[in-house]
Structure 1
Amino acid sequence: MKALVYEGPTRLALRDTETPAPGPGAVAVRPIAVGICGSDVHGYTGSTGRRRAGQVMGHEIVGTVTEVGAGVDLSVGDAVVVNPVLGCGRCAVCADRRSDLCEEVKVMGVDTALPGGFAECLIVPARNAIRVRQAHPACALTEPLAVGLHAARRAGVGPGARVAVIGSGMVGVATAWGALHEGAACVHVVDIDQEKLEGANRIGATGLRTAPGRPLIDVLIEAGVAKVDIVLDAVGSDDTVRSALGATRRGGVVGLVGMATPSLRLPDFTLITNQQQLVGTWCYAEQDFATAAHAVAADPDRFSWLIDRRVELAGAPRAFEELSSGYSPKFKVLVTP
């Protein structure tokens, strides 16, 4: 089979590799579409050190089952979305279907020993292959949408909540969708890019344009909005977290979704005296992923506009080169192996 192999910083090569076969409890999946995540691009450039030579990346995967191992409740031809987060399968949190909290958690396409979807075939534990009604390319958006849904749930978004989201890229729009899915009364998405804000409007939120360094509270007040219950920061810098705390009511919650910097300087006095909560959120629980998968598969046209571009596997090295050299899609580029 063909696979896109990472050979070191800024080097990807299409290679002939052995087609894997599933063992007990696993299935072989033929990817239909695989999203290029920002973390894949950072791995490609070598800036994070989270990718190793010889591995196959790609963790935003939709495809069809081509072969099944023993003891599997799936059939050849089934459409599946792949949850790339794997726990040990033995601990209490894994039993509770919270593999994202497992001490031994790994991610397919990120961890070297777990090949991802930039290939013509990959092996997936049956538990991580979510059967859906159709293998539509838009279903590759499940993974970032699950990130957004998990963020909303972690921050306690519920019916009637007043929510603001900082950032309107793919994760920001996904987070806005997650908040709306959980019943938020209003979701305001703030960004400096008017074109990306159109995506927030299209998903059902209200996009508000800002300027670099402008406090979020000023933008909300100008729009006739008071401090909100919850701010979900899809950027994650010192400035955006400080701005988020300033726009959150006393006793409110700031959800940290984006990771623009590995460490943060926080306004401790403000956080403590306002009795606000900072909530970290990473990946998703298994239920979050399944909910997002079924939502997209049920109505793919509602999400297809988030796909900016599609490239075949042979064209993926060029796409990575462009993404690392200034080309900035509004939302998502898909690889179609």
Structure 2
Amino acid sequence: MKAAVYHGNRDLRIERVPIPEPRADEVLVAVRRSGICGTDATEWAAGPVMVPLHRRHPASGHLGPMIPGHEFVGEVVDGRAGLPGGTLVAAGAGVWCGQCDRCALGRTNICRAYYTLGLNAPGGLAEYVAAPAKTLRPIPDRLPLDAAGMAQPLAVGLHAARRAGVRDGDSVVVIGAGAIGTFVLAGLGHLRQAEVTVIDLPGTKLERASKLGAHRTLSAREDVVDAVLESTAGRGADVVIEASGAPGQFETALRMVATGGRVLAVGLPKEKPAVDLFALTLREVTVDSTVAHVCDEDLVPALEILAEGTLAPLMLHSVIELDDLVGRGLEPLASGQVDGKILVAFGEPR
């Protein structure tokens, strides 16, 4: 089969490799769409970070060059585990053991033996992938493949929205309206009736946020802290979700959250933020974080949100071929030229 194979920093090659042999708990999937994200671009441009290129991964057992791609959908080739051949499925990509203490609590995304297809084991930037059956969910008939290809990152955003602990009627601020911030916004709209303000630079991102239900948008070029305090009668926002990872924005989130409020860290900053623990403690602000998603809880609702038909057209940047993965995918994504999702398209299974 044809696949993208990561060999190291800025070294990704399109190669012919054997079709994987699925294990007893796995399903062979003929990939139809495989999305790429900032994590993939970071691995390509500055990695390896998570790819076990030089040290064997303790959970997946993988070591060496690897097929990336953790956002994929496709067609079941050989039916098993209740998934008949020909079923179109979306993959959660994260694999959990189901036996550890974290899994017992339902927090499978922080399983003691967690690994992710496409980051720690061969993934979906290939014509075929072997994926554990428990990570796959059928795609609704009414959902186009280009939309379904966004299910995994939307599940991540939906999980973040759950972690934010928003209640109906809360005032919420989302800092950052890129892909992850937009998926968090969509998740909030699915879960709660809250008043959401979105902050980013002026332009298409804020326009998209308005179309997706943001009650208010603020330009990051203005004094956003004062603007949030003014709109909340000086109290501050009940919940602030920092989804940009931009320098100084976590501190901004702490300044605009209400006493007794909650800040959720989503974006990953390149530099360690400075935190005013004195003010944080005296105001009893809760700071929380989020990672990945809980497949059993988030993947099916993500498909349902996409089936509504509003989100995917606003998020789709382009659909490219595998041969164009670096030039039209990873390079522009790594250099910040992409606003939205890039999908790699694969043909019918042979």
On whether the aligned pair clears a TM of 0.5, the verdict is yes
Contact persistence 2:40–2:330 (CA under 8 A): no
Is residue 93–residue 99 contact of structure 1 (8 Å, CA) maintained in 2? yes
Contact 1:56–1:119 (CA under 8 A) maintained in structure 2:
yes
| Residue of structure 2 in register with 1:218 after alignment | 226
Q: Given the alignment, which residue of 150, 163, 175 partners 1:141?
A: 150
Unaligned ranges ≥5, structure 1? none
Partner of residue 269, structure 1: 278
| Distance change (3 Å), C-alpha of 1:207 and 1:326 | farther
Q: 2:137 aligns with which of 130, 138, 141?
A: 130
d(CA) in 2 for partners of 1:220 and 1:39? 31
**Count of matched residue pairs:** 331
Equivalent-residue separation in structure 1 for 2:75 and 2:202 (angstroms) = 37
Is the Cα contact below 8 Å between 1:216 and 1:244 reproduced in 2? no
- Selected match of 1:67 from 71, 78, 87: 78
Deviation at 1:323, TM superposition (A): 1.8
Spell out, residue by residue over 1:168-220, the C-alpha distance to the aligned partner (whole angstroms, 9 max, x if none). 000111111111212132111000142211111121114523245x5532232
SS at match of 1:152: helix
Distance of aligned partners of 1:221 and 1:253 in 2 relative to their CA distance in 1, 3 Å threshold? closer
Structure 1 outlier segments of 4+, above 4 Å: 221-226
1:261: Cα distance to partner? 2.8
Give the partner amino acid of 2:345: T
Equivalent residue runs for 1:301-320 within 5 Å: 301-320=310-329
Q: Determine the C-alpha separation between the residues in 1 that align with 2:313 and 2:228.
A: 30
Which ranges in structure 2 are unaligned for 5 or more consecutive residues? 54-63
Q: Secondary structure at the match of 2:84?
A: coil
Percent of residue pairs bearing the same amino acid type: 30
Asked if residue 158 in structure 1 is aligned to residue 167 in structure 2, the reply is yes
CA distance in 2, matches of 1:316, 1:271: 44
Report the Cα offset of residue 301 of structure 1.
Answer: 4.9
Match of 1:288 among 298, 302, 313: 298
**Counterparts in 2 of 1:327 and 1:256: CA distance versus 1, 3 Å:** closer
Question: Are the aligned partners of 2:140 and 2:303 in contact in 1 as well (CA < 8 Å)?
Answer: no
Report the secondary structure of 2:154's partner residue: helix
Correspondence for 1:167: 176
Note the C-alpha offset of 1:94. Answer: 2.6
Matches within 5 A, 1:246-257: 246-257=255-266
1:79, distance to aligned residue in structure 2 (A)? 1.4
Shift of the alpha carbon at 1:235? Answer: 1.9
Shift of 1:93: 3.0
Shift of 1:238: 5.5
Q: Give me the CA root mean square deviation.
A: 2.1
Distance in 1 between residues matched to 2:134 and 2:334, nearest whole Å: 37
Aligned mates of 1:202, 1:33 — CA distance in 2? 26
SS in 2 for 1:270: helix
SS in 2 for 1:67: coil
- Contact kept? 1:231, 1:254, Cα under 8 Å: yes
Which letter does structure 2 place at the counterpart of 1:288?
A: D
Could you tell me how far 1:244 is from its partner in structure 2? Answer: 0.7
1:236 & 1:327 partners in 2: Cα distance? Answer: 13
The 1:61/1:97 distance shift into structure 2, 3 A limit, reads farther
Query: What residue number does 1:119 align with?
Result: 126
